[in-house]
């Protein structure tokens, strides 16, 4: 999933470089990357167990920092609204 997200992001970025209108795809790529990132960091905490939950361990920090990705730079709800506007 991480690799799919990365490749999709690169593909959208490449199209932007060629001047192709990518507003819907940018929103889709961001939301997909956030979904993947949510799962990766959630699973990482689960794998590390109690240490994954404790301050001072990198996994806890990654899990916490990950939350901003779905809020900053275009919140997930806003990205969905943009996607729906193009689809409907």
Ligand X SMILES: Cc1cc2nc3c(=O)[nH]c(=O)nc-3n(C[C@H](O)[C@H](O)[C@H](O)COP(=O)(O)OP(=O)(O)OC[C@H]3O[C@@H](n4cnc5c(N)ncnc54)[C@H](O)[C@@H]3O)c2cc1C
CB of 71 to ligand X, least distance (A): 5
Task: Kindly tell me the burial class for residue 31, based on how many C-beta atoms sit within 10 Å of its own C-beta (0-12, 13-18, 19 or more).
Answer: buried
81 binds ligand X (CB under 6 A): yes
64 binds ligand X (CB under 6 A): no
Q: Which is nearer to ligand X, 15 or 38 (CB)?
A: 38
61 binds ligand X (CB under 6 A): no
CA proximity to 40, closest of 2, 88, 72? 2
Count of residues of this chain found to bind ligand X when the rule CB under 6 A is applied: 8
- Which residue's structure tokens are 């949510």? 38
CA proximity to 87, closest of 29, 40, 28, 47? 28
Residues in contact with ligand X by CB under 6 A are: 68, 71-72, 75-78, 81
């Amino acid at each position: 999933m991480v690799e799919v997200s990365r490749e999709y992001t690169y593909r959208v970025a490449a199209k932007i470089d060629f001047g192709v209108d990518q507003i819907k795809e940018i929103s889709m790529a961001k939301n997909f990357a956030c979904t993947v990132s949510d799962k990766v960091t959630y699973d990482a905490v689960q794998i590390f167990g109690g240490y994954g939950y404790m301050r001072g361990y990198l996994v806890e920090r990654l899990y916490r920092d990950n939350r901003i990705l779905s809020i900053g730079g275009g919140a997930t709800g806003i990205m969905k609204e943009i996607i729906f506007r193009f689809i409907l």
